[in-house]
Structure 1
Amino acid sequence: MAQKIMISPGRYVQGEGAIRQIGEQVKSLGKFALVIGDKIALPLTREDVQKSLQDNGINFKFEEFGGECSMQEINRLKAIGEEVKADVIIGIGGGKTLDTAKAVAYYMNLPVVIVPTIASTDAPCSALSVIYTPEGIFESYLILPANPNLVLVDTGIVAKAPVRLLVAGMGDALATWFEADACAKAAAKNMPGGAATQSALALARLCYQLLIDYGYRAKLAVEKGVATEDVEKVVEANTLLSGLGFESGGLAAAHAVHNGLTALEETHHYFHGEKVAFGTLVQMIMENRSNEELHEVLEFCVSVGLPVTLRQIGVTEVTPEKIRKVAEMSCAEGETIYNMPFPVTPDLVYNAILAADAIGEAFLAE
């Protein structure tokens, strides 16, 4: 029997105004912080972060993130960190900024603090950085030896971000239960290389349930820029539960199909979670899930504004060549698609993509 392994961040802090407590939370981790933030996140948070770090006797340097989580950018920031003798890294912003901060901390052997300003992916809690080429094409997964030391989510900031980002996060979180369930059925290994604990599967299931129950209401609240209890629940699903679920439960076809879709340039303008939502439908077709399950997922996606067709992720001209390319890349060596509980071939994926697209189109036409 494989050993069961579950991993998680050292500490998770979530709530409206949490950013104003960052110094208090960070002071046990280091005395000089390199603060990496993207051009949207830094102006939003700089004042609160600066004051809180100063109040807690922490020195700091702010550095703007270049825009792509590539090895070039990681090395640039690492050099800055070494120059200022930083002893803790703080990442503030979206998924790519946070993945970059995690990678910089890893290569410098330092603790890392993650501050998502959007709830658009499950990147914040994970011991993983997704590395891209400078042009934005998926390159590799950098598996890290530990999860972030601290994840701090200010729901007041998250609620003021564009609603599409929260919805994209729901798309990423939507896959969590289906992928964890597939991995459990296949006795596939999770990210730390063990079997899933019952806790991980329960959290993955809870992640899905929170989306179905509160996703639509949270979307409406964020359209008004407010953080309600619905928003708190969905942010927790998108960030903490999805992160714990995918790492300690495992990834399967939905994320592999996302990676395949990046082969088509027209999908590059769509968010990770939007493509994962469509990948979830593809996985459900591959598994021959029930009409009830499929209907619940389709209904949820349409209610919050997640794509259920290729057209909705930019693929307006669906050709056999394009879909074949996506299917082949989804089945690349080492892809998570091989965690499915049955043999997978590019033909199977090709068929499932076209079937999922047709089902999505038919659902929209009803």
Structure 2
Amino acid sequence: MNMDLSVKVGPQFYKYHEDAFSLIPAILSEYKPKRILIVHGTLSWIKAKPFLQDIFSDQYEWFFEKYSGECSYSEGERIAALIDANMIDFVIGVGGGKLADLTLYICHLANVPFGIIPTLASNCASWTPLSVMYKENGLAEGKTEHVNRQAVFLMVNPQLVIDSPVEYYVAGIADTLAKWYESDMILEQKEFLDAPFTSMARSAALICKNTILEKSSIAIEDMKKGFVSNEFLQVSEIIIGIAGLVGGLGDKYARNTVAHSMHDALSASLPELHKFLHGEKVAYGIFFQLALEEKWEMIDELIPFYNDLNLPKSLTEMDAYPLSEEKQKEIICLTNKKKKVHLLPIEVNEERLSKAMIDLENYINK
């Protein structure tokens, strides 16, 4: 079978080690840039700068730009214009997930190579060839920009990310857990099990699930202590790399389906949920998808894990339910419009989605 599959595996070079940043000068020398732009956040740059002093060679002209805090179309266009105006020929993004997404997008617009230095071990944004777009007010645009380029390098220093906010790490754990539950029903079909790359995607998704469920609690406690343990490293690499590899190998069939579609709908429709992190809303989305699939036993299996990590299991627990009939219809309509939810080998329509939302609230609140 000649499956419609676009494989975009990941960065050209990845290293997660205390000496990772020492390799950046050698990689830059291969690209022979003259003018390098560092795009960064505020607190992230304060944290990262002391780790990066050795990369600032005098053979390059360095530029620095603080981004607005959102991966938005307007911010992407603004910084892409700066790149053009200053004849920048290499970009390094230093920061969290939105910064990584923005760096990818601006380098797509400006057609320049880039590297990523994450300051959080909470997402796979640095790994993936897509950017999740937001409005400047923080609400989701409901759009994801897919591009045909990826990072020249992805360098992570455990000492830089170990003292990042634990709540972001927990949210990243939930977001990564979704890789299995969103792709399970699709990739278990024979045509995908028989195809080499989608079979590999399923194996990567299973690694995500198993490692997250087995080692997250220890990894979180070690992170709180500032202890770079094997569990912290393993869970971090699952979040940063293997989660991104799932979609890289399996393309649209393994990237995301209902859980992320629900996240997007909630983010676009309920500003009061902006206080919840991306992964926290995706955690609810996992339960919503399992309710749609009528896999209540899987929800039961996950409830202790959710309780342990204080992840939301329902809209009630997020103080967003009951919804008005108009608002519920809006959220369900936005979810149903996503093409990816219809990749599931079951009937998906507004009626079934609405029923799943109500059934889940009743099940969790019983």
Using the size of structure 2 for normalisation, the TM-score is 0.89
From the superposition, tell whether residues 354 and 2 of structure 1 become closer, same or farther in structure 2 (CA, over 3 Å): farther
Contact 1:131–1:141 (CA<8 Å) still a contact in 2?
yes
Contact 1:6–1:200 (CA<8 Å) still a contact in 2?
no
Structure 1 window deviating more from structure 2 (20-29 vs 302-311): it is 20-29
From the superposition, tell whether residues 349 and 29 of structure 1 become closer, same or farther in structure 2 (CA, over 3 Å): farther
The CA distance in 1 between the partners of 2:365 and 2:222, in whole Å, is 28
The CA distance in 1 between the partners of 2:90 and 2:48, in whole Å, is 18
From the superposition, tell whether residues 109 and 135 of structure 1 become closer, same or farther in structure 2 (CA, over 3 Å): same
The CA distance in 1 between the partners of 2:196 and 2:283, in whole Å, is 25
- Name the SS for the 2:88 alignment partner: coil
- Name the SS for the 2:57 alignment partner: helix
Q: CA deviation at 1:27?
A: 3.3
Q: CA deviation at 1:186?
A: 6.5
From the superposition, tell whether residues 187 and 269 of structure 1 become closer, same or farther in structure 2 (CA, over 3 Å): farther
Partner of residue 2, structure 1: 2
The CA distance in 1 between the partners of 2:87 and 2:311, in whole Å, is 44
Matching of residues 246-285 of structure 1 within 5 Å: 246-247=247-248, 248=250, 249-262=254-267, 263-285=269-291
The CA distance in 2 between the partners of 1:18 and 1:303, in whole Å, is 33
The CA distance in 2 between the partners of 1:63 and 1:79, in whole Å, is 12
| Identity percentage of aligned residues | 25
Deviations 1:45-85 (A, max 9, x none): 12332432328x44321210111111111111112212332
Q: CA deviation at 1:281?
A: 0.8
Matching of residues 283-322 of structure 1 within 5 Å: 283-289=289-295, 291=297, 293-315=298-320, 317-322=322-327
- Amino acid paired to 2:160: I
Partner of residue 334, structure 2: 329
Matching of residues 1-366 of structure 1 within 5 Å: 1-3=1-3, 4-9=5-10, 10-16=12-18, 18-31=20-33, 32-54=35-57, 57-139=59-141, 140-185=143-188, 196-247=197-248, 248=250, 249-262=254-267, 263-289=269-295, 291=297, 293-315=298-320, 317-332=322-337, 334-362=338-366
Deviations 1:288-312 (A, max 9, x none): 2251x32332222221222112134
The CA distance in 1 between the partners of 2:302 and 2:222, in whole Å, is 21
Q: CA deviation at 1:196?
A: 4.8
The CA distance in 2 between the partners of 1:99 and 1:277, in whole Å, is 21
Contact 2:93–2:100 (CA<8 Å) still a contact in 1?
yes
Aligned residues: 355
From the superposition, tell whether residues 341 and 110 of structure 1 become closer, same or farther in structure 2 (CA, over 3 Å): same
Deviations 1:119-173 (A, max 9, x none): 2222110000112222223221111112222211222222101100000001110
Q: Which runs of 5+ in 2 are unaligned?
A: none
Deviations 1:332-360 (A, max 9, x none): 2x432111111211221122122223333
- Name the SS for the 1:54 alignment partner: coil
Q: CA deviation at 1:264?
A: 0.9
Contact 2:97–2:126 (CA<8 Å) still a contact in 1?
yes
Q: CA deviation at 1:314?
A: 4.3
- Name the SS for the 1:36 alignment partner: strand
Q: CA deviation at 1:44?
A: 0.9
Contact 1:131–1:138 (CA<8 Å) still a contact in 2?
yes
The CA distance in 2 between the partners of 1:66 and 1:26, in whole Å, is 27
Deviations 1:8-49 (A, max 9, x none): 221221124534543344432342321111112111112332
Deviations 1:151-206 (A, max 9, x none): 112222221011000000011101101122233257899xxxx9952111101110
Deviations 1:234-285 (A, max 9, x none): 1111111111113422321111111111111111111111111110111111
Contact 1:183–1:341 (CA<8 Å) still a contact in 2?
yes
Q: CA deviation at 1:321?
A: 3.3
- Amino acid paired to 1:323: Q
From the superposition, tell whether residues 117 and 83 of structure 1 become closer, same or farther in structure 2 (CA, over 3 Å): same
Contact 2:39–2:103 (CA<8 Å) still a contact in 1?
yes
From the superposition, tell whether residues 68 and 260 of structure 1 become closer, same or farther in structure 2 (CA, over 3 Å): same
Q: CA deviation at 1:317?
A: 4.7
Contact 2:162–2:227 (CA<8 Å) still a contact in 1?
yes
- Name the SS for the 1:92 alignment partner: strand
Contact 2:202–2:246 (CA<8 Å) still a contact in 1?
yes
Contact 1:180–1:245 (CA<8 Å) still a contact in 2?
no
Question: What's the RMSD between the two structures over aligned residues?
Answer: 2.3
Contact 2:91–2:114 (CA<8 Å) still a contact in 1?
yes
- Name the SS for the 2:275 alignment partner: coil
- Amino acid paired to 2:56: L
Q: CA deviation at 1:114?
A: 1.5
Structure 1 window deviating more from structure 2 (18-27 vs 241-250): it is 18-27
Structure 1 window deviating more from structure 2 (60-69 vs 21-30): it is 21-30
